[in-house]
Every structure is written in C-alpha cells, then in structure tokens.
Structure 1
C-alpha cells in the first residue's frame, strides 16, 4: 500500500523533482519578473474595473454579449488576484508552503484560466445564436445570462479544485510532475489536452461564424435598408471577440504545451527554464483584453474615456466648481451620482475634455 504525504511541506516534493526554486528565483531575472508582474497586476485591476463599470453604467451595453464581456473582464481581474497570491508564495517561500496552501496557489491560477476559457465558449454560443438569426444581439434574457455566468464560475471553481479533491500524486509520488510537484502527470495531460482541444474548437467555430457573417453581409448589403454602421455592427462585434480569442490562444498555448510536455515526462525539454516567462505571457493576456475592448469598440472607448475624465475632474475640483459643471436639469432628474453618470455616458459627454 502506497504511503500518502499530506503532512509534508513542499520542500520534500521539490527536492524529489530536483527543482531548485530558491536558486531559480533570485537575481536579475526574478526582479524583472516581479516588477513586470506588479505593473501588469495594477493595470489589470484598474482597466478591467473600468470595463465592468462601463457595462454597468452605459445603457448601450445592457445586452447579453456585453454582460459576458464584463464577466470575461471579471475573470481577468481574478487572474490578477491569482498572480498577486503567486508572487507572495513563490521563490524560496515555495518550499515552506504546506500542501493545502500550494493547492490554493495553483487552484487560483487554474480557476482563472477555466473561467476565461468557459466564458469564451459561452460567448461563442451567444454569437452563434445572434449571427445565425442575423441579429446584433441574441434574445437571451437577463435571467439566463445570470445563470450562465454562475455556471461559468461553478465550472471554474470545480476545475481549480480537482487536484485537491483527489487527482494528485500525494499517495503515489512516482507519478508526480516536475513543474507542479504534487500534481499527477496524468492530470496535467488531461487538463492541457482538454484546454487545447477547446482552443481549436473555438477557433473553428469563430472562423465559421466569421465567414457566414461576411458572406451574408456581402449578399444582403445592396438590398438592405438602414444605415451602413448598423449593418456593420455584427461584423465589428465578431472582429472584437475574434481578436480577444486570438490573444487568448497566443498567450496561453505556450504554457499549456510546456505543461503537456511535463505531463508526458519529457526530460530533455528544459521546461523549468521557461516556466516563469510563459506564466508572465499568460498574465499579459489579462492586460491585453481591456486594450482590445477599447480599441475595437468605439462606444467602449468613449465610455471609459468619459469615466476617467469625470472622475479626475471630480477629484481635482472643489465642491462649488463641481456643481457648476453639472446641468441643473440633471440634478432635478436624480439625486444620485450614479444616475447622473449613467445619463451622461448614455446621452453624451459631460466633461469638457471628452469628445
């Protein structure tokens, strides 16, 4: 009968896999990683908070696609939290961690990836529903979208907890991987292959939808009444989500391939030397998404710009000057700042510097 090692510190498992974490995470390299990681995390928290607030405040975004986009921003925000927790529990500290704390560290990262991936799959379903009926937005109700969001996070939490629930190598250390010293190699193979397959499926689905939209738009445009911008809206949304998906695949695939090689017990692949850089690349995905939203979606860009402008003016001006910027009609419509912000972002610019 195999002996289980639940009471051991991580030092025991790192030594068995010859992982010299204390030596690897010192010097110039670790300082670069930590500096970039800290900057990225701060940007992730700020920018993704802006995206979520924009969807809540601006009535133009009160549709299923944007609710799911806000949930994707929440997943990116969660990824920032996971990376902050990792930074405080890595390097020399790694060997002093208990098994449960190490499971928590990795579970947060796994859950953030699963949340983003599952959210993109749900967005693919939503886009398919709307595009095939040639609508800008699907007819999903708010209740169904809320249930989908709850389901996304339930799946993410479950996948992050699977190793803790038993699929690990604590009772059979001969099957332990190198990059994740208490994860079973069979679990790494399952997890990476399932994610890579999901990537390929989503790419195929979005390419099919994109080609369908392009073909239908070219056929119907000469015979369809309405503004050109309205006819182009479905294609604009598709380009946005395809750019997000492309960035996701590019940022996460190298890390998943390295994990797969580790799961296959490739001893000549030098996976230890590239793990931190591929993890930083994965974090970069959460930085890129808000930039893609604002660059590809003019309404999102204008909303975020007005929010930053209004908040900066509010913080820099005194109460008398702030009240002079607010039209009397706006004060009579609502007593709350949130209602005024919603009206201003939906109807037009309020800040002097906003276009």
Structure 2
C-alpha cells in the first residue's frame, strides 16, 4: 500500500532559500538580456581652467580698449604707438586663445580643436614677447639716434619689424597644426599638451634669449641716460633738464616692464625646461597663470600711463578733455 505524500505546510528555512535562489537566477538571466541605459558621467570642470578663462576675459577686454583707441585716433600713428598697438593686439589674441581653449576643452572636444587653440595661444604669446622686445629696441634707438630717429625711415623700419615679427609668430603657431605635436606619441608630450617636449624647450630657450637681449638693451639705455645726466650737470639748461626728466621716467618705466616680465614668465619658462607630461598638472597651472598676468599688466604700463593715449581715451569716452590733461599731453610721452 502506497503512502500518501506528506505536505509540509510550514516549510523549512532551507526550502525557502532554495526557492529564492531559483527565482533570482531566473530574473538575473532575463535582466542580462535586456540592455540597461547607464547614466552619462557628469562634466567636471577644472577650477584652474575657470581661472585661466577669467584671466583671458580680462586680458581681452583691457587690450581691446587699447586697440580701439589706437585705431580710432589718427594722431597715434608714430612708431611707438604702432608697437604698443602690436603688443595690445597680441595680448588681445592671447586672451581670446585662453577663452577658446576653455570652450574647446569642455564643449567641442577633438584633436583639431586642441591643435587650433594651442596654436593660437603659442602665436599670440610669442607675438606679445616679441612686441616687448621691439618696443625695447625702439626705445634704445630713439635715445641713441635722438636727432635723426624720428623720420619716415623710422616708420618704414617699424613696419618691416612688425611684418617680420608677426610672420615669425604665425609660423610658430602653425607648427602644432602641421604635425609638430605629440598626439601620436604621448611619451613626447611637454607640460603643455599637445606640444612636444622639444618644441617647449625651444620656445623656453628663445624666451631666455629674448629676455637677455632686452636686459642688454636696458643696460645700454641706462648708460645713455647717465651720459645725458653728466652733460646736464655741465650745461644746467632748462630744456636739457626737462629732456632728462622725461628720459628718466622712460627708463624707470622700462625697468618696471622688465621686472614684471621676468617675474611673470620666468617660473613657467624654467619649469617647462625641466618638466614633461608626467609631472602633476597643478605645477603647470601654477606657473602658467602668472605668465598670463603679464598680458593684464602690459596695458596698464604701456598704454594707460601714456598721456597721449589718456587724451585719446577722454576724447572717445567724454568728447572733451580737461584743460590740465590737455596741457600735460603736449609734453613728450613717458613711454
């Protein structure tokens, strides 16, 4: 006689566990066949990039004012103002380059945009440094050839200098686009990607050479001023004294420019010589940010302290010039 199967109504814990495991296996097999939409990763913005973009905005606004003043004023066509305009244009493009780099890095990410933005930054900052050298050369020649320097020949020389300056800097900016980059070999990247380590070293050495040349010209200017001071001590003539005071102001301005130039650019230059892409990026940002400050300070030193530019700015903004400022503007400029 067969016994009826006994039904365990209560059920043991082991039976429940086995049943739960079976259900979980079935649900897992089904869920593995159904694609699951993963959430998009959130865009994380580097605070250093935000600071660089803000610096680029300030640089662009400042130097755009200087460029507009020089373009709007027909009286500002002397070689000195052409060189100041070249410096302001270079710094303006540098500021735009920092903004474009931020936009391309977070909104339009591609290899082409990286090359274009870094090329613009290299070309503009190179033009800024070269314009500072050209202004130093102009100041030296105006003192060394004080009687014959202000002529049509000087204007022609200035235009030739500007063409060579901008042509060279544009070629430097095109090098990353033409293949001089580290996109194919990440091990050759410098602290500024996608520039190669060799390219960064060449730019750094060129900067050091430019600074040494500016320093040498500054020493020669100081010698000329000392010679003028000796002649003034013998003559004691009012006009000579006035010329000496103006020259001394120009030399002091040049000293401020050189000191600011070295303080802003030297940390990044030395760091790019010894470092590569394996170094922490925070060091690159910490040395590159002060370099951008030079483009912020340049309009204050060169343009806004110049009395002729102050007069032109008042004419543009107010339509009138105070009498005291108009009288001061008739004297030679400080820069």
TM-score (norm 1): 0.68
Matched ranges for 1:1-355 at <5 A:
26=45, 29-30=47-48, 34=50, 36-57=51-72, 61-90=76-105, 96-98=109-111, 100-135=112-147, 138-139=150-151, 140-171=153-184, 173=185, 175-209=187-221, 211-222=222-233, 223=235, 224=237, 226=239, 228-263=241-276, 270-294=279-303, 296-310=305-319
Q: Deviations over 1:85-119 (max 9, x none)?
A: 111123x558x422x32111111111011101221
User: Does the CA-based 8 Å contact 1:115-1:156 persist in structure 2?
Assistant: yes
1:57-79 alpha-carbon deviations (Å, 9 max, x no partner) = 55664321221111111111111
Structure index of larger Rg? 2
**Number of matched residues?**
283
What is the distance in 2 between the residues matched to 1:240 and 1:258? Answer: 28
Deviates more, 1:56-65 or 1:74-83: 56-65
2:33 equivalent in structure 1: none
Larger RCO: 1 or 2 (CA < 8 Å, sep 6+): 1
Deviation per CA, 1:220-270, whole angstroms, max 9, x where unpaired?
A: 22414526433333333333344233322221222222221224x7x5xx4
Partner of 1:7: none
Mapped to 1, the partners of 2:164 and 2:190 lie a distance apart of: 32
Secondary structure of the residue aligned to 2:318 is helix
Contact 2:127-2:166 at 8 Å conserved across structures: yes
> For each residue in 1:299-338, what CA deviation from the matched residue of structure 2 results, as whole angstroms up to 9, or x when unmatched?
433433443333xxxxxxxxxxxxxx8xxxxxxxxxxxxx
Taking a change above 3 Å as real, the CA distance of residues 45 and 177 of structure 1, as seen in their structure-2 partners, is: closer
Q: CA RMSD in A?
A: 3.3
Map Cα deviations across residues 159-183 of structure 1 (whole Å, 9 max, x no partner): 1122333433445x26422533443
Does the Cα contact within 8 Å between 1:48 and 1:74 map onto a contact in 2? yes
**Structure 2 gaps, min length 5:** 1-40, 330-335
Q: Distance in 2 between matches of 1:254 and 1:24?
A: 31
Structure 1 unaligned segments of length 5 or more: list them: 1-21, 311-324, 326-340, 350-355
Q: 1:230 to 1:205 in 2, by over 3 A?
A: closer
Q: 1:87 to 1:182 in 2, by over 3 A?
A: closer
Partner SS, residue 104 of structure 2: coil
Q: Which residue of 2 aligns with 1:314?
A: none
3-state SS in 2 of match to 1:165: coil
Q: Which residue of 2 aligns with 1:3?
A: none
